[in-house]
Structure 1
Amino acid sequence: MKMHPSVHSFRRSFFFCCFLLLSLFLLLLLLVPPSSSSSSSSAPNEKVTVSLYYESLCPYCADFIVNRLVRIFQTDLISIINLRLVPWGNAWIAPDASVICQHGEDECFLNTIQACTITIYPDVMQHFRFIECLERLSLEGRHRQWMNCFQMTGLGTSPIDCYTSGNGKTIHLKYGKETSELKPPHRFVPWVVVNNQALQEDYRNFETYICRAYKGKVKPNACRSSSLTARTYDESNEKDNNFFIPVCYADEAKNLTLHFGNEIKQ
């Protein structure tokens, strides 16, 4: 049976159009560069490293974590940040190699529990939720109810086993060694470091420093706020005007670096 001439014409036109479309598609593949990651995330080497050196029962550390640092999770700022939490603060090593914490034994215990939680749950979203919960209880004078934070955050209680096994002490001491090697040395907590720059007295302005340090092509929305204007801290203002800085000072931490050689394997 012979096909109608119009059918032959249609088939030739159809195959010709398919050939053109395929050629155009291949050309577009060559011309369009491979898609990069979405604007809401950053390559690991572009992220800004933010390290918070703190202690669990310093009220100013608790306030900073609960009311200020938490904002990076409430905006898209966390997408450009590698957040590190270092619970040691102003603790020091006594002559008998025991750890002495500024706010007593409870603080040493909670520092260690938090250190274990960070290690066991390395995802920052997970361990920050637990730490924020515990620090909120600290602000409310209820830090001894810390076990409730496991249920409230949905995390398992493995950090308790970490503490009782002795592994927690080793982790805690490593954080202490890192704190003792800060340059410049920390003088108080909370002590915030952004890409190796210690913010010192201007730590509450940390968001501005993060945005300025970020070198990625697409700035997060949180960095486009006109309110993020960094100021220059003037130490003379503090002395002349009795300017209050909400920190816990490290006056008692003179022996911070002693005995680490016996406690931590290099």
Structure 2
Amino acid sequence: MMTTKWSLPVMLIWVIPAVTVSCCRHPPSVWCSSPEIAKECQVTKQCSSFYSGEVNANPVNFTVYLEYLCPDCKQFMAGELYKAYTKLSSIMNLGLVPYGNARESKVGSKWKFKCQHGEKECLGNIIETCSMYVLPNISVYFPFIHCMEASYESPKESSKKCAKSLQIDLAPILECAESIVGNQLEHQMALKTAALKPAHTYVPWVTLNGVHTEDIQKQAESDLVKLICDTYKGPKPSACTESEKARKCWKL
């Protein structure tokens, strides 16, 4: 009798949850991966903090080490980097370090730079560095640097055209580039580049949350939007979903 008394309740305890989640086709590890899956698996309430933004998700730190006259830098800036930044600026902290393969030496109180593509490259690097110092934020200086990188003209000519097209006052930027301030700012770019671990062997050289690997480099150069979206731990912006859909060949 004791067996009969307890067997039915025990059976019900196990049967009811099984019926409740019978429509869920996904393992528990992915139940909170999207609102749709959470709803299907009837755990929307349990996953609500994830979708309300309570998850501590920091923007992805992505830094590009470049030099003004490098063809591959220009291609990366115009292609993957521009596309990713314009779509995902809300979830990425973009850093730019215009120095590349240059070398520096101390002459008196100033630094002298020797660049891979000559003096024009050195000047282009310093103008870009000074633009980040003079202009108020990345939403202003990134378009300016992107515009300069799209040109193979002398840095002064390209900076004039870009400043005019973007309605930027170029005078303080050039003043910085020709001053001890610009010289010291470029020295800081040299220090940042020299501190890379592993040391860079080419440019553009990228780091993702401070880390560089050849796999990260290849992913950045082939599909930076996907790399940033995959790295970000918070709720994905619509650009991530759109990018995922664009990569697939959907049945018509």
Aligned to 2:183: 169
Which residue pairs with 1:63 in the alignment? 75
* Number of aligned positions between the proteins: 188
CA contact (8 A) 1:112 1:169 kept: yes
Which of residues 113, 128, 152 is equivalent to 2:165?
152
Aligned match of 2:38:
none
User: Relative to structure 1, is the Cα distance of residues 100 and 109 closer, same or farther in structure 2, using a 3 angstrom cutoff?
Assistant: same
The answer as to 2:220 corresponding to 1:209 is no
SS in 2 for 1:197: coil
Cα distance in 1, alignment partners of residues 231 and 165 from structure 2: 34
How has the CA–CA distance of structure 1 residues 92 and 228 changed in structure 2, closer, same or farther, with 3 Å as cutoff?
farther
Scaled by the length of structure 1, what TM-score is found?
0.64
* Conserved? CA contact 1:199–1:206, under 8 Å: no
3-state DSSP class of the match of 2:197?
Answer: coil
Contact in 1 for aligned 2:120/2:154 (Cα 8 Å) = no
Unaligned runs of 5+ in 2: 1-48, 248-252
Distance of aligned partners of 1:43 and 1:165 in 2 relative to their CA distance in 1, 3 Å threshold: farther
Instruction: Name the residue aligned to 2:99.
Output: 88
How many Å separate the matches in 2 of 1:148 and 1:177?
30
Change (3 A) 1:53 1:43: farther
CA contact (8 A) 2:80 2:224 kept: no
The correspondence for 2:90, drawn from 63, 79, 83, is: 79
| Alignment deviations for residues 102-142 of structure 1 (CA, whole Å, 9 cap, x no partner) | 1000000010010000111141111011111111112xx56
Q: CA RMSD in A?
A: 2.8
2:239 corresponds to 1:222:
yes
Instruction: Say if 2:146 is the partner of 1:132.
Output: yes
Aligned twin of 2:192: 178
Give the secondary-structure state (helix, strand or coil) at the position aligned to 1:189.
coil
Report runs of 4+ in structure 1 exceeding 4 Å deviation.
Answer: 41-45, 94-97, 141-144
Counterpart residue identity of residue 170, structure 1: Q
Counterpart amino acid of residue 129 in structure 1: P
Task: Write the distance in 2 (CA, Å) between the matches of 1:42 and 1:86.
Answer: 33
Paired with 2:143 and 2:126, the residues of 1 have a C-alpha distance of 16
Distance apart, 1:207 and its partner CA: 2.6
Q: Find the aligned partners of 1:130 and 1:108 in 2 and give their Cα distance.
A: 17
Which protein is bigger by CA-based radius of gyration?
1
Q: Name the SS of the counterpart of 1:226 in structure 2.
A: helix
- Report SS of the residue matched to 1:82: strand
Q: 1:156 to 1:210 in 2, by over 3 A?
A: same
* TM-superposed deviation, 1:166: 1.8
| CA distance, structure 2, for counterparts of residue 42 and residue 173 of structure 1 | 40
Residues 1:53 and 2:65 aligned together: yes
Alignment CA distance shift 1:98-1:78 (3 Å): same
Gaps of 5+ in 1: 1-35, 230-266
Letter in 2 for 1:213: T
The amino acid across from 1:50 in the alignment is F
What is the letter of the counterpart of residue 76 of structure 2?
A: F
What is the SS of the residue equivalent to 1:106? helix
C-alpha contact 2:163 2:169 (8 A) present in aligned 1:
yes
Q: Secondary structure at the match of 1:83?
A: strand
1:112 has 2:130 as partner = no
Identity score, percent? 33
* Residue identity in the other structure for 2:224: F
Paired residue secondary structure (2:206): strand
Whole-angstrom distance in 2 between the partners of 1:173 and 1:186: 17
Query: What is the CA–CA distance in structure 2 between the aligned matches of 1:116 and 1:143, rounded to whole Å?
Result: 13
